[in-house]
Structure 1
Amino acid sequence: MSWLRRLRDLAGKRETAGLTPDTPGLRIVARAFDPAVADSAVLGAASGWTADAPAVLTHHLSLPAGRLAEAAAILAQDGYELREQQPDGDRVLAHAVRVQVLDALHCAQERARMAGLAQRLGGDALGWDARQPGDSPTTSA
């Protein structure tokens, strides 16, 4: 493992201590399913989002059933867990989830990365949402 990756992993653990995708009481604080709306606009309108706190970032993907294992292996390299949700014809709706502190630049980069990955595998990236603890209102785009 490279020293850069170890450093990134340590930094990520500090930022996300205690929060997991399965933490009870998480509420959607931002969601982006319209590719015409910038991630900066989505986060700017997210009234329930706490900018300096970690969030569970969930990318919603539609992937060919036969490519799920490949997608999971690729996503795991960057700390994502791929969770199968339900079949959708010859595809499967899945969530790529990880905990991170959100900012517009990284949300946009990850959205583009998910779109590229899904396209290479014959699927689609439908959008993303972010969840944080508490009773936060939902913002959508």
Structure 2
Amino acid sequence: MSWLQKLRDLAGKPKTPGLTPDTPDLRVVVAAFDPAVADSDVLESSPAWVTSAPAVLTHHLSLPAGRIAEAAGILAQDGYELREQGRDGDRVLAHAVRVQVLDALHCAQERARMAGLAQRLGGDALGWDARQPGDAPTASA
């Protein structure tokens, strides 16, 4: 295994044992669906977001049904799981999810990456949200 693959594997692993996209009692603490608003502004304006705690980052995508498997394979390389949410004609509404600590730079990079991926596959990146447990530690903890 190359050092780059090891680094990718580490980046995709949850930062807190036990936090997964299926952890009970997760709540949306920040959401960004307006491309005209900077991710840094979205994060700064969220009083519920705990900056030091990991979150489940969820990118909302609309993709052609025939490209879902391809998208899932590409996203899995960076630790994302693609979950189908429903269908709208020949489009699939899907969530790309992974656990990570959020910061403005990485949120902006991932938003741009999702937009590029969706565009290449003939779809759209609708926005993202992040969920943290209701008992997430406070920034001062």
Contact 1:84 1:94 in 2 (8 A): yes
1:53 aligns with 2:53: yes
- Could you say what secondary structure the match of 2:35 adopts? coil
> Taking structure 2 as the reference length, what is the TM-score of the superposition?
0.91
Counterpart in the other structure of 2:69: 69
Extract unaligned runs of 5+ from structure 1.
Answer: 137-141
2:139 aligned partner: none
Distance 1:84 1:11, change over 3 A: closer
Task: Tell me the residue number matched to 2:119.
Answer: 119
The alpha-carbon deviation at position 14 of structure 1 amounts to 6.5
Residue 2 of structure 1: aligned partner: 2
Give the Cα separation in 1 of the matches to 2:58 and 2:11. Answer: 20
Counterpart amino acid of 2:43?
A: L
Q: Is the 8 A contact 1:62 1:126 kept in 2?
A: yes
Computed over aligned residues only, the root mean square deviation of the Cα atoms, in angstroms, reads 1.6
What is the CA distance between 1:13 and its match in structure 2?
Answer: 3.8
State the secondary structure of the residue aligned to 1:10.
helix
CA–CA distance in structure 2, aligned partners of residues 29 and 17 of structure 1 = 20
Give ranges in structure 2 of 5+ residues lacking alignment: 137-141
Distance in 2 of aligned mates of 1:9 and 1:47? 31
**1:64-107 deviations in Å (ceiling 9; x for gaps):** 00000000000000000000000011101000000000000000
User: In 2, are the aligned partners of 1:51 and 1:102 still within 8 Å (CA)?
Assistant: yes
Q: What's the % identity of the aligned pairs?
A: 83
C-alpha displacement of 1:12: 5.3
Q: Give the structure 2 partner of residue 20 of structure 1.
A: 20
Task: In structure 1, give the amino acid aligned to 2:66.
Answer: G
